[in-house]
Amino acid sequence: MSFTPFSKAVAVALVGLAAMVAPTGSQAGQRELDLLSSYIGNWQGQGALTGGAGSEPFRCRLNVAKGNQAKVNYAGRCSLVDMNLSVSGTIAFNDATRHYEAAMSSNAGFTGIAVGRINEGRITFDLAERDTDRGGNMVRIGSKISLDNGQIVVEFEVEFNNSGEILTAKVPFDR
């Protein structure tokens, strides 16, 4: 199956989401571990992809579980139209850089490390990637994931550089 730029954006966002929930570094402080642990559980969200010819509904779920040592493991899946996207990985706090880091892989061909920034108790992951669509045109894919006050919100954006068309989605997650 060939993945569209939007499906890659969803995968990038799920990776970032996973990165926000699990620690990868060594010797994280109790406060950082407690914050990550507060997101352990089953999460569900739904949204609509808007732009282009209208909107397409989709649903996502995410499971965050305690991992080995000071790590959190995650696995997520989104269903849209006729495809399923999935990601999995581990998140941890890196004391050396003072950032949360998430390692992930997806069935849409995206793998890597996402870095989370901390600001007043909120952890935010901003992810961006450039890719080509099926026609060989450049697209910009981005997502922003926020962990704030026991809430998870994921925002996606795909911009097709040749046409200027922008597709967006916002997905709030609940337990």
Find the helix or strand (DSSP H, E) in which 28 lies.
Answer: none
**What is the CATH number that goes with domain 5-174?**
2.40.128.20
Q: Which amino acid is at 159?
A: E
- Cα–Cα distance between 158 and 40 in angstroms, integer? 29
Q: Where are the alpha helices (DSSP H) in 22-158?
A: 30-37
Query: CA-CA-CA-CA torsion for 90, 142, 147, 56, nearest 10 degrees?
Result: -100
Q: Which amino acid is at 133?
A: D
Nearest CA-CA partner of 97 in 5, 28, 4: 28
Q: Which amino acid is at 51?
A: G
Please report the pLDDT score of residue 44 as a whole number.
96
Per-residue pLDDT of the chain (175 residues; tens, 9 = 90+): 344 555 555 554 554 444 444 333 445 577 888 888 899 999 999 988 888 777 888 899 999 999 887 788 888 888 877 677 788 888 888 888 888 887 777 776 667 777 888 888 788 877 777 777 777 878 777 777 888 888 888 887 888 878 888 888 888 999 9
- Cα–Cα distance between 162 and 134 in angstroms, integer? 13
Nearest CA-CA partner of 135 in 5, 37, 1: 5
Q: Where are the alpha helices (DSSP H) in the chain?
A: 5-21, 30-37
Q: Which amino acid is at 125?
A: F
For the chain, domain boundaries: 5-174
